[in-house]
Amino acid sequence: MKELIKKILALLFHAGRLLHRNKLIVLAYHDVRDVNCFESHLALISEYYNPVTIHQVEDYIVRGVALPPYAVLVTFDDGEPSVKYLGIPLLKKYKIPAVAFVVSENIRSKQKFWWRIVEESFMNRKRTHAEARKEIRRLKKVPNRERIRTLEQIESLYAGIYKDPLALSIADLYEMRDNGITIGSHTATHPILNQCSSDELDTEFSLSKDFFRSKAIETFHFFAYPNGDYSPAIIPFLKRYEVSLAFTFDHKINGTKIDQYAISRVRANSHDPIDEFKLRISGISTLFN
């Protein structure tokens, strides 16, 4: 029975891979939590796919320069330190380029990701992870001002909770960049953009762009929507701040015509077992979504 399932999975993987051979696949990871699983993903990519750089993707989408068949772009959201410490050696081993979309205030002022502040405040009050996750989901759906007010209340109760001593440094970003990881932007504080006012949107983009400019990191124009939340109302800001590619998080493989401001990505986790990863990268799992 096990053998039969294995054969069916292998068949599905190869069928999906063939079906999507001329489509751009963008994988969206967050961290590198499971080194062995993550290495099995990279080994599979290097055996069956053509890893491409974000510059090739820009040439393809904006200028019509063809990509190789079986093109895969590997991306990471948020700027988790494990991408540097555990990701670089493996990405280099398999010669796979990647992109890390970073939250500029997390690096500039070592400000903890806001969902971690919520999680920690719940743990401090001996509440469960499930309760914290529920509150985080709620805060993603309220106007940005209300989310900030809630965070300010937490910060007034727990002094110093917003500091993240383990956040990536500027030197880390340079090291990543020198090792094949392009640094892209992911706003200044990771709000949910479609809950922001125009002024708040403007602040997020200008702070983030200033950070990139002041640190001479020239790839601000590659952008990923926080939480993947795309909205047409954000496009005027992308244009004003000269963003050329914007990535969503819709768990889809791109079609033949790609909107430069709504590029699809498939979620991947470094701890996904290889059989599950095969279903994701081949697009089989998205066919059933």
Indicate the residue among 77 and 119 with the shorter CB distance to Zn ion.
77
Sign of torsion, CA 87 227 26 170? Answer: negative
**In the complex, least distance from residue 226 CB atom to Zn ion, rounded to whole angstroms:** 5
Indicate the residue among 102 and 161 with the shorter CB distance to Zn ion.
102
**In the complex, least distance from residue 95 CB atom to Zn ion, rounded to whole angstroms:** 26
Instruction: Measure the N-to-C terminal CA separation of the chain; round to a whole number of Å.
Output: 26
**In the complex, least distance from residue 27 CB atom to Zn ion, rounded to whole angstroms:** 15
**In the complex, least distance from residue 102 CB atom to Zn ion, rounded to whole angstroms:** 10
Which of 70, 76, 84, 88 lies closest to 24 in space, CA to CA? 70
Contacts of 114 by beta carbon, 8 Å cutoff, 6+ apart: 139, 147, 151, 189, 190
Indicate the residue among 40 and 219 with the shorter CB distance to Zn ion.
219
Indicate the residue among 16 and 226 with the shorter CB distance to Zn ion.
226
The residues binding Zn ion (CB under 5 A) are 77-78, 226
Quick one: DSSP state of residue 195?
G
**In the complex, least distance from residue 227 CB atom to Zn ion, rounded to whole angstroms:** 6
Specify the amino acid at residue 122: F
Question: What is residue 188's three-state secondary structure?
Answer: coil
**In the complex, least distance from residue 43 CB atom to Zn ion, rounded to whole angstroms:** 27
Contacts of 181 by beta carbon, 8 Å cutoff, 6+ apart: 76, 83, 84, 87, 88, 91, 97, 98, 99, 100
Specify the amino acid at residue 130: A
Indicate the residue among 193 and 217 with the shorter CB distance to Zn ion.
193
Residue 51's DSSP bridge partners are 72
Residue least distant from Zn ion (Cβ) = 77
Indicate the residue among 16 and 191 with the shorter CB distance to Zn ion.
191
- Quick one: which H or E segment has residue 102? strand 98-102
